[in-house]
Amino acid sequence: MSDGQAAPAPSYAYKASLIGAAHRFELTDDGLAWHVAGRSGLWRYDEISAVRLSFRPVSMQQHRFRADVSRAGGGRIAILSTSWQTAALMAAQDNGYRNFIVELHRRMQGAGSRAVLSAGLGRTTYAAALALLAVLAVAMTGLLIRALMTGEYSGVLFIIGFAALFTWQVGGFIRHNQPRSYGFDRLPEALLP
């Protein structure tokens, strides 16, 4: 880059599906420029009313993060950390996503944003998920006790194996998505790749 040329604005793009154009975002001096599904716009940093960071794994990509950016007066944009490559491949874009989200927060803070910064699931959704997990734990414990009492040791092994796999898969989702607030200077590391 020669003297007098401005550095390129930080940008990020991902494909939300195999069909359709990529969702593109750029952090300009004026605000967050976006191009999604044939629509585009520019949101000034001080117009952004909320950012929610969360962990959202899917079957094709177990390590996927999401940022939901909302604007005062309406509108919401989802920014994902993965991009579809082929019918069977969803690629992680960890560094690009992380750098973009950190820079977005830095620019919002510099613009004096008063956005609500939250992480994880909503409190009601999280409480419902915990209640469902408690019911499942009681049911699995009951099945385990019954299998032990009837001498069905292959059933015992199956239940223990299933419970371990379920705990590994769902436990990570629950742990990452615990509802909390954060500040511009303290982004939640568990919700950034």
Per-residue model confidence as pLDDT tens digits over 22-37? 899 999 999 999 999 8
Residue of 53, 55, 50 lying closest to 129 (CA atoms): 55
Residues 6+ apart with CB under 8 A from 188: 53, 119, 180, 182
Residue 2, pLDDT > 70, answer no
Residue 182 has pLDDT above 60, yes or no: yes
% of the chain residues with pLDDT over 70: 94
Residues 113, 128 contacting (CB under 8 angstroms): no
Q: What mean pLDDT do residues 16-27 have?
A: 85
Is it the case that residue 7 has pLDDT exceeding 70? no
Residue range 90-104: mean pLDDT, rounded: 90
Q: Which residue has the higher pLDDT, 6 or 182?
A: 182
- What distance in Å separates the CA atoms of residue 107 and residue 113, rounded to the nearest whole number? 9
3-state secondary structure 69-93: EEECCCCEEEEECEEEEECCEEEEC
Instruction: Give the pLDDT of residue 154.
Output: 92
* CA–CA separation, 102 and 106 (whole Å): 6
User: Is the pLDDT score of 3 beyond 60?
Assistant: no
Res. 38 pLDDT band, cuts 50 70 90? confident
| Mean confidence (pLDDT) of the chain | 89
Strand partners, 41: 34
Domain boundaries, the chain: 11-120+180-187, 123-172
Q: 101-159 pLDDT, tens per residue?
A: 999 999 999 999 999 999 999 999 999 999 999 999 999 999 999 999 999 999 999 99
- Decide if pLDDT at 17 tops 90: no
Domain 11-120+180-187 listed as CATH 2.30.110.10: no
Residue 8: which residues within 8 A CB-CB, separation 6 or more? Answer: none
**Residue owning tokens 């390590």:** 63
* Percent over 90 (pLDDT), the chain: 65
